[in-house]
Amino acid sequence: MTEDRSPAAPTPDWLDHGRDVLARTALAPQAEAIGRVRQTADGIAHVTGLPDVRLNALLRFEGGQYGFAQALDRDEIAAVLLDDTAAVTAGQRVVDTGEVLQVPVGEALLGRVVDPLGRPLDGGPALGQTETWPIERPAPAIIERDPVSDPVETGVLVVDALFALGRGQRELIVGDRATGKTALAVDAIINQKNSDVICVYVAIGQRATAVERVIEAVRSYGAPERCIFVVGAASAAPGLQWIAPFAGMSMAEYFRDRGQHALIVIDDLTHHAATHRELALLTREPPGREAYPGDVFYLHARLLERAAKMSAEKGGGSLTALPIAETDAGNLSAYIPTNLISITDGQIVLSSHLFAANQRPAVDVGLSVSRVGGKAQKAALRSVSGRVRLDYAQFLELEMFTRFGGISNTRVTAQITRGERIRALLTQPRYANLRMVDQVALLAALAEGVFDTLPPEALADLRAQLPGYLDAQGGDLLADLAQSGQLDAQGRKALAELVAGLARQMGPGTPAPGPAP
């Protein structure tokens, strides 16, 4: 009998790889909390069998849908669904993922249209591997903040001159339906194409056509590559609409915490409050005033407190918030507008009467206020805009009295003339943003009496031609003003002379600037 010395067959590579993977795998028992859906209706799933689940914990349902724990009772939890509510039925398994609700953040989101969970809505590719942050994050502590001192230039004269916004400020835009609230916020976003501010637009419960108009406007006139659009549309699940502002805030905070500057527009918090009331009533929370739950003030306070100007030790970044609220028949004392006014650092009130009178933007100068104001303005703009609001308020009162009869007083006639020119200057079409130097030149010319002999309707053409004329004729004066933000008396007169030269080109009979009446 002879010995078999034939060589053994080689081990396949896949078998060696499998053995390596198996050797590296930690074989240990893993616990998984599993519950059952007892009942589902109206976007709420009542789940039993998860006694240790946390508030706002992310839950995964049997069909792959997600939800989060909104109300924790002794025997069951109420979960708000984030996906197709019809696919979740009674008896399905529910798994506690052990995580809180998170959203992707980072530069991969810039230029994209996403839902509040970060899923693309623009038909583009998936975001890929990105960092994720919780939607609920604590607001910066007082010691981590700096005073608001740098401006956010909106390009809208009435805002920049009278109600200046600062980086890190929270300014409410409030008014009746269809008075130009979103248009004012979109103009502010478009104007950031000339700055280093990254913009986040959050739509809550808005019609798809309205959101498309906003996105198209930014793509046509602004810098969409530095914007993020978070859309919780009216057709989306209530849970998605509820998390939308928190998700957008986390996305904006990513840039703030890296030392950059961000602007978030939340359109609008009135719809968000209504969604919060809907979810609270469905989860049987006790109702309060106007059926809103008692925590609706805290809901928006903890959201808007996350906007801040950070100290140098924390990177020096900023997050500016422009929340929008809708009133009914101009009632600013309603529950939600009152709450938001008390939370924010000022409000820009839009009037339906001014809108109907074709004054756009329809900003009510008497009711609007910025609690930061001149502290965030460039010195040059502050020096020429100091008396504009007072002169305009006096004009509005005098105009009311002139309806009852003519006024022969020369001083009163001069005030009315000046007020009509102020109103014409503050009336500004959409997408016609003005630079800071253009605004300073217009207000300097107004103070020097350049416009007193011009018909008010001619100011629209002058404003449209002014940027090009200043670039051609301004020279070093404009460069110094744009760089330093300072303007002395001599520079003011020189700017007024430039504007007067343009006015003389447009029509004969315009005198040189003289002392203001």
Q: What is the CATH number of the domain that holds 220?
A: 3.40.50.300
Q: Is the pLDDT of residue 1 over 60?
A: no
Domain membership flag for residue 129: yes
How buried is 492 (Cβ within 10 angstroms: 0-12 exposed, 13-18 middle, 19+ buried)?
buried
What's the CATH code of the domain at 79? 2.40.30.20
Domain membership flag for residue 9: no
Gap between the Cα atoms of 365 and 359, Å rounded: 12
Q: Is the pLDDT of residue 406 over 70?
A: no
Q: Same structural domain for residues 221 and 320?
A: yes
The model's confidence at residue 4, banded by pLDDT at 50, 70 and 90, is: low
Q: What is the pTM of this model?
A: 0.90
Q: Closest by alpha carbon to 187, among 436, 439, 437, 430?
A: 430
Q: Is the pLDDT of residue 109 over 50?
A: yes
Gap between the Cα atoms of 68 and 60, Å rounded: 9
What's the one-letter identity of residue 422? Answer: I
Number of separate domains in the chain = 3
The tens digit of pLDDT for each residue in 315-344 reads 999 999 999 999 999 999 999 999 999 999
Q: Radius of gyration of the chain from Cα atoms?
A: 29
Residue 169 token pair: 């400020």
Domain membership flag for residue 287: yes
Q: What does each C-alpha distance from 358 to 361, 363, 400, 424 come to in angstroms?
A: 9, 12, 18, 11
Q: Closest by alpha carbon to 360, among 423, 271, 434, 269?
A: 423
What's the CATH code of the domain at 465? 1.20.150.20
Domain membership flag for residue 196: yes
Q: Is the pLDDT of residue 129 over 90?
A: no
Domain finish residue from 377, 394, 412? 377
Domain membership flag for residue 336: yes
Range of the domain at 462: 383-506
Residue 90 main-chain phi, psi, to 5 deg: -65, 140
Q: What does each C-alpha distance from 333 to 201, 258, 297 come to in angstroms?
A: 27, 38, 15
Gap between the Cα atoms of 457 and 472, Å rounded: 24
Q: Same structural domain for residues 147 and 87?
A: no
Domain finish residue from 42, 75, 100? 100
Residue with more model confidence, 32 or 181: 181
The model's confidence at residue 84, banded by pLDDT at 50, 70 and 90, is: confident
Q: Same structural domain for residues 407 and 355?
A: no
Residue 371 designated active-site: yes
Residues 423, 444 contacting (CB under 8 angstroms) = no
Q: Is the pLDDT of residue 512 over 80?
A: no
Catalytic residue among 38, 145, 371, 389: 371
Q: Same structural domain for residues 126 and 85?
A: no
Q: What percent of the chain has pLDDT over 70?
A: 93
The bridge status of strand 346-350 relative to strand 172-175 is parallel
Gap between the Cα atoms of 460 and 285, Å rounded: 54
Domain membership flag for residue 28: no
- The pLDDT assigned to 14 comes to 66
Q: Same structural domain for residues 65 and 197?
A: no
Q: Under 8 Å CB-to-CB from 436, ≥6 apart: which residues? A: 153, 160, 378, 380, 381, 481, 482, 485
